Amino acid sequence: MKPDLQRIASQFALEGAIASIDSLGDGFINDTFIVRTAGDAPDYILQRKNRSVFPDVPAMMENIRKVTEHIRRRVVAAGGDPLREVMTVVPTRDGALCYEDEKGDFWAVTVYIADTIAYNKADTAELARKGGEGIGKFQAQLADFNEPLAETIKGFHNIRHRFAQWDEALARDAAGRKKDLAEEIGWIESRRAEMLAFWSKVEDGTIPTHVTHNDTKINNILFDKQGRVLCAIDLDTVMNSTSLNDFGDAIRSYANTGDEDDRDLSRVSLSLEMFAAYTDGYLSQRAAQLCPAEIDHLAFSARYITYEQVLRFLMDYLDGDTYYKIKYPEHNLVRTHAQYKLLCSMEEQYPEMCRIVRETADKYR
């Protein structure tokens, strides 16, 4: 049975009468709707949070509240627009940050920021530069944030934890697909040691942790119509991790010449032009705050997160497609191949990526 969206939306403290509710966007995890209201009242984003992905939605919404309130103070102090340069969580009429329906699904509402654009692809270096500036600014706004945050998804970008899940998925072989995936499994296994070596530097504190976004693909940044970055959206995964992961995850999307799920692998590669542009925007905001170990591992973080994404798509395929929404039966395998092609392209161009990071960091320090 379809959820009664009208009734669910009216649990929240919305201004104005609800005029319409429609589906929005193509996130892989949550279900998203736009609630349009009559008259001058703002419109709203209503989301059903995916409860099999997020075990504790109230704790997640509490994270989002803390982080957005912090950013709002920073925006106001800088003379910015607190209604457009940060997301605003709208509570229920009872003052809760989310609403649980009778099926046990959790819903949350934020203010819809009008006259904005969310891109699915970076077509120009200028856009990649702005995107880098956006995440750099987001991290800089949170550099002095020191409240505790819940871990909304355990070990999200922790490859040691991902390997534990991976080993279980292989042993389970829930969908009976393992026998056809020897080559793909080899891609993961042959890089296990180098990925763990990187992560052990986070575990031993060589690479510090901060509050980070953790899902920085391009459509999670809102731009205004003049092409300026307004704010980061989709804050479900804000929690402690390394700043590097936000950089790497963004490169995975901004600098891919093809699509994340491209069937035509000849279209997929790392664009050094986009990489350089994103790096320039990012470091223009962050170079002064990052430590040498972070700068030294920035280029590697793109390989790390892309590798992790190959593992996650392949693991979901092995599991029988239980995590990511898919549009056709082989979708997770197609995603795996496309992300692996991107990873290989990064590996080939890695010396150049490192050079670009070094030169850009020098420019801003």
Binder to Mg ion among 16, 21, 24, 27 (CB under 5 A)?
27
Gap between the Cα atoms of 120 and 130, Å rounded: 14
How many residues bind ligand GN1 (CB under 6 A)? The answer is 12
- Closest to Mg ion by CB, 18 vs 235, is 235
- Closest to ligand GN1 by CB, 260 vs 294, is 260
Binder to Mg ion among 141, 214, 220, 253 (CB under 5 A)?
220
- Closest to ligand GN1 by CB, 222 vs 356, is 222
Token match 């229920």: residue?
Answer: 92
Closest CA to 119 of 254, 274, 246, 231: 254
79: its two tokens:
């003379």
Query: H helices of 37-88, where?
Result: 57-77
Q: Are 136 and 286 in contact (CB under 8 A)?
A: yes
Token match 């180098």: residue?
Answer: 194
At 180 the three-state DSSP class reads helix
Gap between the Cα atoms of 84 and 105, Å rounded: 28
Query: 10 Å Cβ neighbour count for 59?
Result: 14
Residue nearest to ligand GN1 (CB): 28
Residues 291-304 as b or e (16 or more Cβ within 10 Å = b): eeebbbbbbbbbbb
Residue 217 engages ligand GN1 in binding (rule: CB under 6 A): yes
Gap between the Cα atoms of 23 and 341, Å rounded: 32
Residue 108 engages ligand GN1 in binding (rule: CB under 6 A): no
- Closest to ligand GN1 by CB, 234 vs 246, is 234
Binder to ligand GN1 among 29, 181, 251, 356 (CB under 6 A)?
29
Interface segment toward Mg ion; rule CB under 5 A; list 23-31, 165-173, 203-211, 316-324: 23-31
> Of these partners, ligand GN1, Mg ion, none, which one is at the site of residue 145 (CB under 5 to 8 Å by kind)?
none
Residue 237 engages ligand GN1 in binding (rule: CB under 6 A): yes
Residue 316 engages ligand GN1 in binding (rule: CB under 6 A): no
Would you tell me which residues interact with Mg ion (CB under 5 A)? 27, 220, 234
Q: Which residues bind ligand GN1 (CB under 6 A)?
A: 27-29, 53, 215, 217, 220, 234, 236-237, 260, 309
